[in-house]
Amino acid sequence: MAADPVESPWRTEQDRQQHRGAKRDAVLAAAARLFTRSGFQGTSLDDIARSLRVTKWSKLLNIRAASKGVKVIELSGGNQQKVVIAKSLVQEPDVIIFDEPTRGVDVGAIAEIHAEINRLADAGKAVVVISSYLPEVMALSDRILVAKQGKVVVEFSAIEATQEGIMYAAIH
């Protein structure tokens, strides 16, 4: 006996979007009440929403700063890179292209950036990593495409890829 398909409570996509908008507005209104009680009177809902997004992404990517008022330019290279990533991810894209995501950052930040890339892939996002650092490519990839003179010349699965094979394909 086949189970009845689960019916969506929303008749149309527009109904679903309106519900999401109403939920977002309710969260922002609650946050506005908290901010007002905390002495942030005159703060716009846009400012509150921005602050909540900053807090969410700062925690998610473990962005560390000496104080809340610090400028991005004053952060370490790894934290600056994580801010760039957060600014892109706040839009919740379905396809993310990372071009040299860990160039010039410290080892701790590399691990955190790799963890975020893996989290995005696990969440079903399409993630493309372009990197000249082979250990990074091999650690993050399900498939590895080697391009030479603007064309893909070889495709490896993560299982069959070796640093030697990738380098050979890139040079020959």
Residues 44-88: tens digit of each pLDDT: 545 545 555 566 666 666 677 666 667 777 777 777 887 778 778
Quick: pLDDT tens for 109-167.
Answer: 888 889 989 999 999 999 999 998 999 999 999 999 999 888 999 999 999 999 999 99
Supply 26's token pair. 């309710």
CA pair distance 34, 132, nearest whole angstrom: 47
Supply 151's token pair. 């064309």
What local confidence, expressed as pLDDT, does residue 7 receive?
A: 53
Most confident listed range (2-11, 85-94, 159-168): 159-168
Confidence band of 27 (pLDDT split at 50, 70, 90)? low
What local confidence, expressed as pLDDT, does residue 4 receive?
A: 47
Taking residue 17's Cβ as centre, other Cβ atoms within 10 Å add up to 11
Alpha helices in 6-62 (DSSP H): 13-37, 45-60
What local confidence, expressed as pLDDT, does residue 117 receive?
A: 93
Q: Identify which of 19, 1, 22 has the alpha carbon closest to the alpha carbon of residue 10.
A: 19
Whose tokens are 């890829």? That residue is: 161
The more confident residue out of 6 and 155 is 155
